[in-house]
């Protein structure tokens, strides 16, 4: 005779969290460009722009950097200008 599925069902703290669900308290990322002490978006500000590139040279998405959609568009424009002026690499190997 086969045991019923209830006998093997995990109980209480034995349950695993469902995939796609938060595991703990979530803190919203702050926009690094907002406010008076925010980073200035300019294509000659290479050191600050490089913070928003990953290891392979791609632009970090807004959900990871915390930038708003408007500031992410401004950042993208500045990064592309800096790349065209050869201040930043197009790709990193």
State the CATH number of the domain containing residue 65.
4.10.640.10
DSSP annotation of 34 reads -
Token digits of residue 90: 């197009």
Token digits of residue 87: 């201040």
Token digits of residue 74: 């401004």
Tell me whether residue 1 is in a domain: no
Tell me whether residue 9 is in a domain: no
To 5 degrees, how large is the angle CA 82–CA 85–CA 87?
Answer: 60
The reply to whether the predicted model has a pTM over 0.75 is: no
pLDDT of residue 12: 59
What total number of domains does the chain contain?
Answer: 1
Question: Which residue range forms the structural domain that includes residue 84?
Answer: 31-93
pLDDT of residue 11: 61
Tell me whether residue 15 is in a domain: no
H or E segment and range at residue 46: helix 46-50
pLDDT of residue 26: 73
Tell me whether residue 77 is in a domain: yes
50-92 confidence digits (pLDDT tens):
999 999 999 999 999 999 999 999 999 999 999 999 999 998 7
Tell me whether residue 79 is in a domain: yes
Tell me whether residue 20 is in a domain: no
């Amino acid at each position: 005779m086969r045991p019923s599925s209830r006998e093997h069902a995990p109980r209480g703290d034995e349950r695993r969290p469902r995939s796609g669900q938060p595991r703990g308290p979530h803190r919203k990322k702050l926009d690094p460009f907002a406010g008076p002490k925010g980073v200035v978006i300019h294509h000659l500000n290479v050191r600050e722009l490089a913070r928003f590139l990953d290891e392979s040279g791609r632009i970090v998405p807004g959900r990871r950097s915390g930038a708003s959609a408007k500031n992410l568009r401004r950042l993208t424009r500045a990064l592309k200008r800096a790349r065209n002026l050869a201040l930043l690499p197009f790709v990193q190997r």
